[in-house]
Amino acid sequence: MFLTKRSYLLMGGAVVLAAALVTGARVYADRPDLLTVPEQTPIHITLDQTVASDQARSGDHFQATVTEPVDVNGKTVIPQGAHVEGLVVDARKSGHLMGRAHLRLVLDAVQVDGKTYDLRTTAALRTGGNHKKRNLGWIAGGAGGGALIGVAAAGGEGALIGGPVGAGAGTAVAYFTGKRNIHLRAETPLTFRLEQPVTIDVNKS
């Protein structure tokens, strides 16, 4: 079988490519200063600023600090005190009478020895309390109070009038006091987990 010039060139190119891949893999393997943090590794942080469901918007960034070192094979890869940047994935403020507050955060970058590495983590999710029971308490309490006032003023007929009036007043109180937003203040501790491994150069030279 005769090989054409093109066949020789293709074979030569394949050999060169294979050699380059092997060399690259050997160089990477020979670099003990490159360590990979596996997925599901926890990253513990504290916020450097307040993040609130009624102030933040999806796409906003926040700053935080690593509170516990991340080690791989007995070597610290992400030191305590490392600066991290986070992203607000979702933020919904609480309504007056309905609608829970909602705040979802992730980490998207960490700085180690002056280098920035992209992160992909699970989300830290906070959901505000359900204020339905509290609102019902205000409304029911207002109705009861109105009925008592109505009875004192005009007997049974007054109770029929006072009840709805009191309920209206209770609803107004619930409206003005019913918001239950989420406020994560500076130094609030949060924990995230890596969804994808991250390789970090730990060479400090």
Per-residue pLDDT of 44-89, as tens digits, reads 999 999 999 999 999 999 999 999 999 998 999 999 999 999 999 9
What integer pLDDT is reported at residue 100 of this predicted model?
Answer: 80
Residues in a beta bridge with 11: none
pLDDT confidence of residue 27 = 43
pLDDT beneath 50: ranges in the chain: 1, 25-29, 96-98, 131, 134-135, 137-139, 144-150, 152, 159-161, 165, 167, 169-178, 205
The answer to whether 146 and 165 are in contact (CB under 8 A) is: yes
Beta carbons of 43 and 193 less than 8 angstroms apart: yes
**What helix, strand, coil percent values describe the chain, rounded to 5?**
35, 35, 35
Nearest to 62 by CA among 124, 112, 127: 124
User: Quick one: pLDDT at residue 171?
Assistant: 43
pLDDT of residue 174: 40
For residue 28, what pLDDT is reported? 46
Alpha carbons 95 and 176: distance in angstroms, whole number: 10
pLDDT at res. 110? 97
CA distances from 180 to 46, 96, 123, 169, 171 (A): 23, 8, 21, 20, 16
* Tokens 């160089």, residue located: 27
Region of 74 please: left (phi>0), alpha (psi -120 to 50) or beta. Answer: left
